[in-house]
Amino acid sequence: MAKNKFNQNWIHDHINDPYVKLAQKEGYRARAVYKLKEIDESEKLIRPGQLIVDLGAAPGSWSQYVRNKLSGKEGGGIHGEIFALDLLPMSPVADVDFIQGDFTEDAVLNQLEDRLKGRKLDLVLSDMAPNLSGHPTVDGARIEYIMELAVDFAKAHLKPGGALLVKCFHGPAYNNIMSMFKSEFKQVSNKKPKASRDKSSEIFLLGKGLKNSQ
């Protein structure tokens, strides 16, 4: 009974969520787009001409936003390139190059590197989240692992002055994750956008400028 009540409350909150309504109105696939939009507008992360990777991209709202920022014109092509990666399938987004698979596997990385042709990225975005169990220690380890994967990817592919924006969560591993970011990036900040629900422990970490670029 309690679970049914929770589901009903979630559905009620979701239907009445202003960001859900706005996403539907503006043609975005998920409310998560407004988290990226707020951070981008304050940090000026996305600019025409950039090479950008969206990790864990499905259902694609972040890729939609990036595409619009690199273009400004519907159907008019873009100035820059976007590569979206996810284990899950994703419906096509105009001008976005989607690769389905695990970005830690050589076969998927090889596909991306074939497209990059030796070029380095300006920005890596990650809205990835592990499956959470509700057990703080287990979840902390899973979150930390996802953060390590994103940081390792960024170290291998970012330009020296590039940036990494990832979704993180407050919890037992948070201090370790922040320490890792500070050891790899010259500037590190955390962001809690308005579109992030108050009851959610999610927070976004932004690292700018690799300390030791490869």
For 25-72, write each residue's pLDDT tens digit: 998 999 999 999 999 999 999 999 999 999 999 999 999 999 999 985
Instruction: Average the pLDDT over 118-145 and give the result.
Output: 92
Q: Establish if 179 belongs to a structural domain.
A: yes
Distance CA(56)–CA(120), nearest Å, equals 19
pLDDT at residue 10 tops 80: no
Count up the domains in the chain and report the number: 1
Domain contains 133: yes
Query: Would 14 be classed as within a structural domain?
Result: no
- The predicted model scores a pTM of 0.90
4 lies in some domain: no
Q: Per-residue pLDDT for 122 more than 50?
A: yes
Residue type, 73: K
- Point out the residues that are catalytic: 167
Long-range contacts at 22-26 (CB < 8 A, ≥ 24 apart): 23/61
3-state SS of 3-71? Answer: HHHHHHHHHHHHHCCHHHHHHHHHCCCCCCHHHHHHHHHHHCCCCCCCEEEEECCCCCHHHHHHHHHCC
Which residue ranges are tagged as binding site for S-adenosyl-L-methionine? 60, 62, 86, 102, 127
Enclosing domain of residue 121: 32-210
Residue 149 resides in a domain: yes
**Residue 23 domain flag:** no
Residue 1 confidence (pLDDT): 47
Q: What are the binding residues?
A: 60, 62, 86, 102, 127
CATH of the domain at 106: 3.40.50.150
Residue 13 has pLDDT above 90, yes or no: no
Residue 53 lies in a domain: yes
